[in-house]
Structure 1
């Protein structure tokens, strides 16, 4: 009888030890993700830094084990906001460690860097200050991922490498402690963006690797060093022929203990796409509805691969020697789907679903059709003199010719309606009121993914006519140059199709029978195509 209590006590102790070990093996992850397209007056705005940050923030929560409450996303914030957010995560990390939890702090930044500092808008954060802050952070593991020009300055210390050929003992991350820094470029190199990829080369290939392309072991998990090695090789390959030259990511690590940190678990969400072992070998591209490559997968013979795509519809592309093989696949929520080769078809290269602008700094243009309404501001004018009318027109726009993100446009629109002239004592004659508008605009825009706000100036030549049905009344015509302002949003639902909503406010001087200052507004929509 006495043996039973001792057995129970031993079992209780064993369970307690297992529970303690399991608790110690859990790695609580905190993430600060920042993207800033602006770097101050002496830099040119980036196009995709904020988009890269949004993608990485979502990826860490969906597959990277970071709880939504433990992740902070900063978009176009300054260095004070960055340091404040970092301090908040450090405080939470300290509290977690006090409860016996092992912790990891991941800091990702996409944006400008220059003269030894991150450039967050008009503010600065020195490389050495950031490195010191990360070195002193209370987390067991600190991982910094910096996608910016000359970010390799941070790794020019003992232990730094420019190539990914290194070994670290694989195993549980429970034994690893220290600081790891990954950068998108060497200390003397620029980091490059790609319009076709809709992001920077480095962040795209890092994210694609974390979605599954870097999982060379096939265990369904992507480790930190698997992801870096993949991003290094693909970034160098893709930028080798660019005008800026090859871009070499760097790393620096100062780790104690053994083990490699798993950054993403491809099975965490239960959803994604399986490419079976029987599928042909080759490089697969997965393209979103906007024509941007969201992931790539290098498939080898007889090896099953998994890419953890978020739920949605994707175009699949595999390039053959003389043609493409393309198709469409739906990734449902909560479960994986298998890519079936029979659902792909052969197509000429001209049907390539990857439709990035690929301008490489060059100009591009769009043409389109517009519709809208014009109305003068004061009621007496629009009721008796210049009536409110609908407009139909056409517009052509030249993008990035004078300066990046500047758009010069020319437009023409016509409109009209039947009306009756209001006379004091009797019904007036019938006439047709017509408007012809010829305009040119110069706008500045700020691309934010598929949405692009813009604002600028416009000069219009306005021709207003009243053509009477009764020949006893002479036709009337008024024409005048009219300066104005224009603002709006351009949306890109497809790679080469843009839908724009815009508002214009104009001024003109009426000089026929008296001097009058008049204003009018126009609201319209523009559907354009990029050849």
Structure 2
């Protein structure tokens, strides 16, 4: 047997080593954050948290991120964000020490303003975050920012406004470094869509990761396949919007060559397969709630796979003069093959997306729980001195914000008050008794936010129960109960991400008809500290 020359052995060995390195799996760590709130000077977003949930689910289900190597943060602060990042960096450092190749993916959907991410009332400087990721102990770091004017982070050497480059996925030197993808350029707003149930950029990025971006047909979606797809679709979908076209950007600082596979659809016995025999065209997959979950652009004589989560979807293929509509059920652990014969022709009026009424960009509904203190008193002096006494109050209040419409609040309250008193008789002091008061009420108020301060007015209906409990057991206790309508007004101050301080006043009317027909009115002043969930 002939021995290969020394230089030939070295070449074979180098190729084998390169193939081994190329085949080395990547340990993935992912931090996914979504913040609908961006502070008092920003408008609350509708879908940032939903976008984060979708991206987190995709990375775990299709992106090779193992449970425990991920963090999902919803409406958390910058401190929480950095703490979670530290935990993942520690895990990545330990993995590298064991010889594993690592990737750190950071995704954020929410507000950005004045060069900072806005996480509630806290901020995270974009340049500081970039420096932090540049120094992170992972072989490759990927930042995906879906926020207004996030392209300010890519206004550096290597930045591009369009996907005008390619990386050789077959190269023998693996890519190492930092990649930043943003949803918009430095002077553009990132836009949301009611029909998509998310932002344009995150929707198309997620749809691409599920398989629509797999133009090579190899069952893998690489980082730059996903970005190029999201770029083209985002620009196309926003071109006619009132805000104008939105241009995602990227910045890369990579040593070596090669691309990183973000999602892998190969060998999965779950999802949806559009067979080679299916007609070409654009397919849309709509959730039972009427939202477009994913899209797929199929060419002639190609087979396409989409990594849909288990569930039932309406399938829509748009044709020049009509629609083709049907249903597809994706079952857990099984691949569903789309059957063209099960689709039916339908007019455009039957479009399952067209029939969904656009929802207003309302603030997200949330609850508050508050502890209240106040004072209750009747306007009429003889009444408050002998019949219904002035009384301090302590109570609990629950508020449901933005449920009926934006900046409306529905409150439920319970207040208790008590004091010791003496029944005054015409000629002498009477028996002592304990006067008690209970009010249970509900209010509907409208607010007008001005930064952190929001004045409000509204209507209230309360059930008032008063009682006298005499110390002398021979005297019967007395009770009086009545429904009383009234008005409420005050000011709410948003102190921090979770705490609010409210001062308010109430006026009520009641008809007293025990011993005489009298119209009475009372007022309440109070303050409460509330916690926002």
Equivalent residue number for residue 209 of structure 1: 208
Residue 513 of structure 2 corresponds to residue 512 of structure 1:
yes
Q: Distance in 1 between matches of 2:63 and 2:446?
A: 41
Specify the structure having the higher radius of gyration (Cα).
2
Partner of 1:394: none
Matched residue, 2:288: 289
Other structure's SS at 1:175 match = coil
Shift of 1:511: 2.8
Alpha-carbon deviation of 1:510? 3.5
Q: Deviations over 1:152-187 (max 9, x none)?
A: 001000000000121211137971100000000000
Write out per-residue CA displacement over residues 100-151 of structure 1, whole angstroms, 9 at most, x where no aligned residue: 0000000000000000000000111111000000000010000000000000
- Structure-to-structure mapping, 1:212-223, within 5 angstroms: 212-223=211-222
Give the corresponding residue for 1:277: 276
2:409 and 2:175 map into 1 onto residues whose CA distance is 55
Secondary structure of the residue that 1:69 maps to in structure 2? Answer: coil
- In the alignment, which residue of structure 1 is the partner of 2:253? 254
CA–CA separation in structure 1 for the residues paired with 2:86 and 2:327: 45
Is there any run of 5+ residues in structure 2 with no aligned partner, and where? Answer: 1-12, 364-401, 411-441, 448-455, 463-481, 490-506, 523-533
Any idea what SS the aligned residue of 1:130 has? helix
Residue 300 of structure 1, CA deviation: 1.1
2:459 matched to 1:459?
A: yes
How far 1:290 sits from its partner (Å)?
A: 0.9
Count of paired positions: 393
Q: Distance in 1 between matches of 2:77 and 2:129?
A: 14
Cα deviation for residue 398 of structure 1 reads 11
Which residue of the partner structure matches residue 163 of structure 2? Answer: 164
**1:255-314 per-position Cα deviation (integer Å, ceiling 9, x unaligned):** 111110000001364211111111111111101111111100011111111111001100
Does the Cα contact within 8 Å between 2:22 and 2:174 map onto a contact in 1?
no
Distance 2:252 2:243 in 1: 28
RMSD over aligned Cα atoms = 3.3
Deviation at 1:512, TM superposition (A): 3.2
Q: How does 1:374-413 map to 2 (within 5 A)?
A: 405-406=406-407
Contact 1:24 1:100 in 2 (8 A): no
Distance 1:442-1:328 versus aligned 2 partners, 3 A rule: farther
Match of 2:110 in 1: 111
Paired position in structure 1 for 2:358? 358
Distance in 1 (alpha carbons) for counterparts of 2:246 and 2:117: 18
Matching residue of 2:196:
197
Give the corresponding residue for 1:68.
Answer: 67
The answer to whether the 8 Å contact 1:173/1:262 transfers is no
Cα deviation, 1:14-57, whole Å, max 9, x if unaligned, reads 9xx99x94797111000000000011010000000000000000
Find the residue that maps to 1:64 and give its secondary structure. Answer: coil
TM-score (norm 1): 0.68
Counterparts of 1:37 and 1:398, CA distance in 2: 16
Where does residue 342 of structure 1 map in the other structure?
Answer: 341
Q: CA deviation at 1:322?
A: 2.3
Give the corresponding residue for 1:302. 301
Write out per-residue CA displacement over residues 410-469 of structure 1, whole angstroms, 9 at most, x where no aligned residue. Answer: xxxxxxxxxxxxxxxxxxxxxxxxxxxxx994568xxxxxxxxxxx9863799xxxxxxx
Change (3 A) 1:268 1:45: farther
Taking structure 2 as the reference length, what is the TM-score of the superposition? 0.68
Deviations 1:474-522 (A, max 9, x none): xxxx99744589xxxxxxxxxxxxxxxxxxxx9762433367899xxxx
For 2:31 and 2:101, the matched residues in 1 are separated by: 18
Conservation of the 8 A alpha-carbon contact between 1:63 and 1:268: no
For 1:321, the equivalent position in structure 2 comes to 320
Shift of 1:408: 9.6
Cα distance, 1:218 vs. partner? 0.3
Distance 1:440 1:146 in 2: 40
Structure 2 Cα separation of the partners of residues 23 and 318 of structure 1: 39
Instruction: Provide the secondary structure at the position in 2 that maps to 1:68.
Output: coil
In structure 2, relative to structure 1, the CA distance for the partners of 1:165 and 1:323 (3 Å cut) is same
Matches within 5 A, 1:36-51: 36-51=35-50
Match in the other structure for 1:450: none
| Structure 1 residue ranges without an equivalent (≥5) | 1-13, 364-396, 410-438, 445-455, 463-477, 486-505, 519-531
Rounded Cα–Cα distance in structure 2 between residues aligned with 1:221 and 1:185: 26
